[in-house]
A and B are shown apart, each in its own frame.
Chain A
């Protein structure tokens, strides 16, 4: 962890803030991008309701996997930092969603054949 990031998390960050209103976009940062939006030069701010008004350029602090949200005015809030070594390409949800869809389809099949569910 870089000194700047470490210091920000320890001294300035409002830990695990609630979801700010008027968020424009949410997700995990990858190579300083949130989807197609570069966050590197945006201003990293604390939660809008926080009394701590410390601001810093987001690229100084954010790492791959950090959960953030974009706010109007080129601002970004750190919702939950990635404190692990995990990389984004190891996310399991895509694989799991496929399983959920499969189970969902199987659940519907008997209904289409007019079976009743036992419980």
Chain B
């Protein structure tokens, strides 16, 4: 278990971090609460772990809605020498097992939906890996989506996706949404066709999990991380540093791997038809 991070709690630009400090005599050092155990788990993949998981409390500042809490439990697992299909099988198995144990009706079926197909179906737009921010801005105007708060291309994509696409699919199905644009790759590989190799999992209107076919090239990873920090600055998020030990691990060699982060409260909400995440954290949570 790792809780405090001295430098990097995760570089995802849109996530705001919790900052704290460690006092040792007169010395004060800045620390962060983790937004995910991801970087540390990947270091262990480079150290020889082949199948590894963690259930960790994670912290995201500025997030509180019916389905967002500033503190929640994340189940993350990674398989080295594997790809995303194996992780999809894991997700399906976990949900099947839990449905049986909790005597819950399982998903009516499984759907695999590609982001460009969803843009075509719901926005009548040919989304391509090279689609620009300007083109998305024009699409937003045509669809009357309010993008006045958008700063980056990710913002335009996200706002259109949220308003016009997300959860338009059957809610009783387990849905894997895949083939994201390259600027949404985060820590995922980019496939030969230009799309990011990641998927998100939805069930009963809730986004449950986010999976990556992990990027293990230290050079590309560092380029993306530096870009993330620049975006954080642009979005007025708290400044953080890069975790150099993560890049050292990649330089030592991380196997081709796939991994996933699954929000446990969200999964419980889907299984039990709970409407508000706060009902799960009213005693211990923030």
Contacts and interface: CB of A to CB of B under 8 A. Distances in A.
A78 B217 CA distance: 13
Contact of B253 (A28, A97, A118, A119): A28
A80 B255 CA distance: 7
A99 to B, nearest CB: 9
A16 B49 contact: no
Interface string A72-104: 000000011111101000011110110000010
Given A93-B49, A97-B49, A118-B284, A84 B256 contact: no
B1 interface: yes
A83 B222 CA distance: 15
A18 B217 CA distance: 11
Contact of B81 (A23, A83, A94, A103): A23
A81 B255 contact: no
A67 interface: yes
A117 to B, nearest CB: 11
B189 interface: yes
Given A65-B252, A65-B253, A26 B216 contact: no
A69 interface: yes
Given A84-B248, A103-B1, A79 B255 contact: yes
A24 to B, nearest CB: 12
Nearest to B253: A80
Interface string A14-39: 01111100010010100000000000
A16 B221 CA distance: 12
Given A81-B253, A84-B252, A119-B73, A96 B47 contact: yes
A116 B248 CA distance: 41
Interface string B232-268: 0000000000000000100111111000000000000
Interface in B180-199: 189
Contact of A16 (B82, B83, B248, B256): B256
Contacts of A118: 284
B255 A67 contact: yes
A92 B47 contact: yes
26 contacts: A15-B217, A18-B83, A18-B189, A19-B81, A19-B83, A26-B255, A65-B252, A66-B253, A67-B255, A79-B255, A79-B256, A80-B216, A80-B254, A80-B256, A82-B252, A82-B253, A83-B218, A84-B251, A84-B252, A86-B252, A91-B47, A92-B44, A93-B44, A94-B48, A97-B49, A103-B1
Given A82-B251, A118-B284, 8 more contacts: A19-B82, A19-B83, A26-B81, A82-B252, A93-B44, A93-B49, A97-B49, A119-B73
Interface of A: 15-19, 23, 26, 28, 65-67, 69, 79-84, 86, 91-94, 96-97, 103, 118-119
